[in-house]
Amino acid sequence: MTSTDQLRPAVALHGVGKSFPGVVAVSDVTLSIPPGEVHVFAGENGAGKSTLMKLIAQVEPPSTGYVELDGVRVEHHGPGAARRLGVSMVHQEFALAPDLSVAENLFIGHEPGRGGWISRSAERRAARDLLAEVGLDIDPGRRVAQLSTAEQQRVELAKALAVQAKVLILDEPTASLTEGEAEELFGIVRDLTARGIAVLYISHRLDEIFEIGDRVTVMRDGAVVATRPVADLDEAQLVQLMVGRDVANLYPRTYQEPGAVRLRVSGLTRGDAVRDVSFEVRAGEIVGLAGLVGAGRTELARAVFGAELPDAGTVELDGRPLRIRGPADAIAAGIGYLTESRKTDGLALQLGVDKNITLAKLPMRAGLIDLAAERRIAERERDGLRIRVPWVGRPVRQLSGGNQQKVILARWLETGAEVLFFDEPGRGMDVGAKSEMFQQMDSLAARGAAVVLISSYLPELLNMCDRILVMRGGRITGEVGRAEFSEERVVALATGARNVENGGKNG
């Protein structure tokens, strides 16, 4: 790389803004990012980070200002034009064709060949080389649908290399990865920046911002609040910049003596995913479910909720046996479930915020849905949970991930659920929204609800829970009480390590 290249920004923004009807999403952003830098974009949900990335990747045209790539001003001609100019964006929801092979996905639109004929052998050879660059040793002929989430993400990174990306945008890249997979991703990112690729990185996880970032730009309400070297900030300063206020406690837990048993699960079994699981949750208690990906935590929650019917076992609420033949029975009994996959399982994306909030308990009048009552309920929940939407009829697909999660929470608050499963509730949420979500969780427990928290992020479990149940291979392998909490102990039980400290209940 010449000294001239080093001085020329990989991407520069000049007064860039984006407005939608009634909303200013991005306002007057001026910023320069050099080659070889990991530039993190941080801020609350709805701050404008993802919209700004879409302007750089030409998914959306700017309303004001302009973008320069490698020192040259570019006009908006769509994502394909941006890729040809060296900009590649990996979204949270991967843009892969699941029924095509890995090799076909890597070269869609620029297949190797001659005279209009595609050379599949050349395609596979080139694919193998690209996959090796991202540390992925798989058959390029495999269908993408057969790959794990981490493998699909590496295919996305290989796609960026296939078009010789100079600017790589990663939007919440670790949201669905285990801790080990995230560390491997960081290694790949460092290799890419060493080659002069500028990496624009959106993340809500403070620990990874400090691990991977060179500089951080903090956005709030569509505008840039600050751009600083990561080394010049600590977590408290970064949080204050992001939310515009001090978040004194990200995990606002009020501990109390648990009451009587509210939820009792006995011998629950569903194939190999959930095997003879028994546990209890008391009134006012938050019980954590820990484990590696595939341990059976989500499958257990779905079986209790009736989303997947168990082969054996019983569920009791307040000592009363329940017959749950589907989610409607669970809801009627007083059980709620905030799904891990909010977009596929939790929300009707085409419907408004109001209809999503009342979906589990419709306000009826004379046999018809009371639309005025529905609007009042939605507006009350919007204001109480600080859901950022000016009009409750707005389609929920247009909301940020954190606001979508609040809509689902509002639904269960409206049903008055006495047992609530929170499945990865902090995923894709900024620190301010997380704090509010955990405050609601604490308030539910304080009112005597039984709460189950499923999380792959151990600080959430260690700070919010009274007890942690650890799963492995569809079974509960141990229980850790608050007095014995430690990351090492939970990881040892989750992985089957033999050096588990005394005090847990191995099974």
For residue 74, pLDDT beyond 50: yes
Taking residues 365-394, report their average pLDDT: 89
pLDDT digit string (tens) for 223-268?
Answer: 999 999 999 998 888 888 887 755 556 787 888 899 999 999 999 9
DSSP state of 501: P
Helices (H), 244-357: 297-305, 327-333, 353-357
Residue type, 358: T
- Residue 466 has what pLDDT? 95
CB 54 within 8 A of CB 412: no
- Residue 92 has what pLDDT? 72
480: confidence class by pLDDT, cuts 50, 70, 90: very high
Per-residue burial over 254-278, b if 16 or more Cβ lie within 10 Å, else e, is: eeeebeebbbbbeebbbeebbbebe
Of 177 and 411, the one with more pLDDT: 411
pLDDT digit string (tens) for 50-71?
Answer: 899 999 999 999 999 999 999 9
Q: How wide is the angle at C-alpha 66 spanned by C-alphas 60 and 72, nearest 5°?
A: 110
Of 230-234, 336-340, 342-346, 396-400, the poorest mean pLDDT is in 342-346
Neighbouring C-beta atoms of residue 473, cutoff 10 Å: 14
Of 89-103, 220-234, 298-312, the poorest mean pLDDT is in 89-103
For residue 280, pLDDT beyond 90: yes
Q: Which architecture characterizes domain 3-243 according to CATH?
A: 3-Layer(aba) Sandwich (3.40)
193: confidence class by pLDDT, cuts 50, 70, 90: very high
4: confidence class by pLDDT, cuts 50, 70, 90: very low
Record the pTM: 0.62
- Residue 340 has what pLDDT? 78
Taking residues 349-375, report their average pLDDT: 89
204: confidence class by pLDDT, cuts 50, 70, 90: confident
Give 38's Cβ-side CA count (13 Å radius): 24
The first and second tokens of residue 228, run together, are 């600083």
Mean pLDDT of the chain: 87
Taking residues 135-151, report their average pLDDT: 87
Instruction: Considering the chain, tell me which residue range(s) the CATH 3.40.50.300 domain(s) occupy.
Output: 3-243, 248-334+417-507
Of 121 and 287, the one with more pLDDT: 287
- Residue 245 has what pLDDT? 59
For residue 301, pLDDT beyond 60: yes
For residue 77, pLDDT beyond 70: yes
CB 29 within 8 A of CB 12: no
505: confidence class by pLDDT, cuts 50, 70, 90: very low
Fold entry, domain 248-334+417-507: Rossmann fold (3.40.50)
